[in-house]
Structure 1
Amino acid sequence: MRAAAADALAWTDSRRADFALGEDALASDGEVDRSWKPLGELAQVCATVARLTEPADPLHARARGLLDFAWQETHEGELFLRLQRLEPFATYPLEVYSVFASAGLRHPAFEQAGAVVARTRGWRLTEQDPTRRLGVLRAEERCGIHRFGQTPPELPQTWLGGLPEPWTFGRDAGYALTHVVFHLADWGRDASALPPDLAVYLRDWLPPWLDTCLEAGLWDLAGELLAVAAIAARTTGEEVPADDWRRLLAARGPSGEVPLNDRDLDELAAGPGRDGDRYFLHHYHSTLMAVFAAVLAVTRPAGRAAPAAAGRPGGQGAPS
């Protein structure tokens, strides 16, 4: 898996220009999902990899280089301040900025302006789904606006927090539950923050959900579920599910990139090739999730050795 992480991160680095912010990054009609979202996701994964690896590790050097690139794309945080002035009640600037803040890259003027807005009733009463709200609360904590707390009041309102009937799992629920775990555990920084009832629920039901996604060729969601399993395993020392990883890695492209799903593979086969923008958009997120999950799987908190065996004892899943 370490080699898989290295290949996937190398492919990501080779597409660095595709993560760059365009001239429309501050436009009112700009496509946030095609600009700030990819850059923020790149920064989040690279911040995690840099945090979990030693400075002498080639993975660390590459991740840190990409993180620094992403920071430079924001003009060292200045663009966040400009965004905040243009859209003071938009949450995505704070959410993306908080990733950099968690890695020690800060812009004090933006944080001050964001804190002023965050004290308003208008900000606190912005209507958001509970999973997104968890993400905003985590972003505020990273920027020193407030404390996250062990059990945010929004948690029981999320799909995962409600401990739903496992057969109600679907694609949308899957993405929601992975992000609840990511937010609670601060993207692997604090796996112990998972409430015990959620950990038990995931232990029982994550394996069949993961198997369903792998069977359907939903590689992006399978990667996120593998990441969830890896976060949980960081507190238990469970072994890495090698069979599940083999199924995911078998879907990789020639340079280590991972497609979103099997349907996209069929459509892209008739396209312009691996260098186009469409190819990037259908691979970058799932490839980043593979890096994230693999690094979580092969590293352990201080004092705990990484698992050496394959298999899935007790039906546990692993990170992607």
Structure 2
Amino acid sequence: MTAMGVREIREVGAAAFAWLSAHRGDFALGEEALTADGHVDTSWKPLGELAQTCTSVRAHTPPSDPLYACASDLLRFAWQQTGRGELLLRLQRLEPFATYPLEIYSVFAAAGLRHPGYEAAAATTARTRGWRLTEQEPTRRLGVLRAERRSGIHRPEQAAQALRRTWLGGLPEPWTFERSSGYALTHVVFHLTDWGRTPAGVPADLAAYLAHWLPPWLDTCLDAGMWDLSCELLIVAASLPDPPDPAALQDAWTRIARAQYDSGALPEQAPQDAAGADEEPDFLRCYHSTLMAAFAAAQTVNRLTGERDGTGGDGRGPHLDGIHNRYGGQGVPG
């Protein structure tokens, strides 16, 4: 890919960060964040995903890049919203067997932002049989195991066992790919590679399978205007052991750039009718896809240019799996 192509991809990421910075207030936690009937999907989930994206972008962007400073600023904002971890400790006490507080905390811990009191409380809960035996889908289990390790919790369960029970780990018939399996496979790769920092974490058979089938799956999602999932697949493409084919990425990034609004927002899905094409979607219908555009751009540029990772810490994690359901650590991957 030409230097101009790389620059254009970077501009997509810069525009996405401009939107994220302008809308940081929409990520702030409200008073309902610690209530039993609070809407986790509209409070903790967006904030945790903002932190994850910023941690990941810092890990893939040189500190001299202005985007590194922007990501660092938003990460500090997210940490401050948690009371520098104190609200997560309160959440742990309110819902000791929910895993989403640990998943969120692990993102900050990976960036070097830690709260000893929270870690002690989470470790106590993790020693119970109730925590260890919580039933979870395999992709979800992978994420929880990674979150535990990042937070200083270690137990003998092997991630490899959970991996082979996932959709991707079973090397399914490629024609069975659909939206739900697409999100599941992206999250598996995110967990295996620490969001692209360790491409060698993808086993050889999975890497070969993805190298063959990811391009047509990506084309299918782009044709359907599924911009959010398309960006996640672009992250996967740039996270495999072999660098992505620049020519194969050109069309995908051209279409993502065309779908992006002048403000930098990227809708999750293309509008179904032309009448809604000019109307920017509300925050909840574009924040995650905009986050993914920012990270996909940083990861792609990093792999295409061969730049070394920044010093932003470990970027493990997905969209924060499982935040949808408050109880029992259950959730909907992706």
TM over 0.5: yes
Which residue does the alignment assign to 1:293? Answer: 296
The alignment status of 1:137 with 2:145, answered yes or no, reads: yes
Q: Give the structure 1 partner of residue 250 of structure 2.
A: 242
Over 3 Å counting, the alpha-carbon distance change for 1:298 and 1:87 in structure 2 is same
Matched, 1:253 2:254: no
What pairs up with 1:41-60 in 2 under 5 angstroms?
41-60=49-68
Counterpart-to-counterpart distance in 1, 2:159 and 2:90: 33
- What letter matches 2:137 in structure 1? D
Structure 2 residues without counterparts, runs of 5 or longer: 1-8, 308-334
Structure 1: runs of 5+ lacking an equivalent: 307-320
Preserved contact between residue 238 and residue 303 of structure 2 (Cα < 8 Å): no
Quick one: structure 1 residues 267 and 142, their matched pair in 2 at CA, closer, same or farther if it must change by over 3 Å? farther
Q: For residues 203 and 170 of structure 1, do their structure 2 counterparts lie closer, same or farther at Cα, with a shift above 3 Å needed?
A: same
Once residues 26 and 272 of structure 2 are traced to their aligned partners in structure 1, the CA distance between those partners, rounded to angstroms, is 19
Matched-pair contact (CA < 8 Å) for 1:137–1:148: no
Superimposed CA distance per residue, residues 61-109 of structure 1 (whole angstroms, 9 cap, x where no aligned partner) = 0000000000000000001100010000000000001000000000001
**1:115 aligned onto 2:116:** no
Letter in 2 for 1:291: A
User: SS of the residue aligned with 1:163?
Assistant: coil
Check whether the contact 2:192–2:201 (CA below 8 A) recurs between aligned residues. Answer: yes
- Post-superposition shift, 1:282? 0.9
Larger RCO (CA within 8 A; separation ≥ 6): 2
- Residue of structure 2 equivalent to 1:170: 178
For the aligned residue pairs, the C-alpha RMSD in angstroms reads 1.9
Letter in 1 for 2:84: E
Query: How many residues align structurally?
Result: 297
Task: List per-residue Cα deviations over 1:212-265 (Å, max 9, x = no partner).
Answer: 000011111111111111111xx3233331111111211111112110011377
The letter of the residue matching 1:298 is V
**TM-score between both structures, scaled by the size of structure 2:** 0.85
- Contact kept, 8 Å, 2:237 with 2:244, in 1: the verdict is no
Change (3 A) 1:265 1:252: farther
The TM-score with structure 1 as length reference comes to 0.88
Of 114, 118, 126, 1:106 maps to 114
Counterpart position of 1:19:
27
1:10-61 residue CA offsets vs partner (Å, 9 max, x unmatched):
1111000000000000011111110111001100010011122222210000
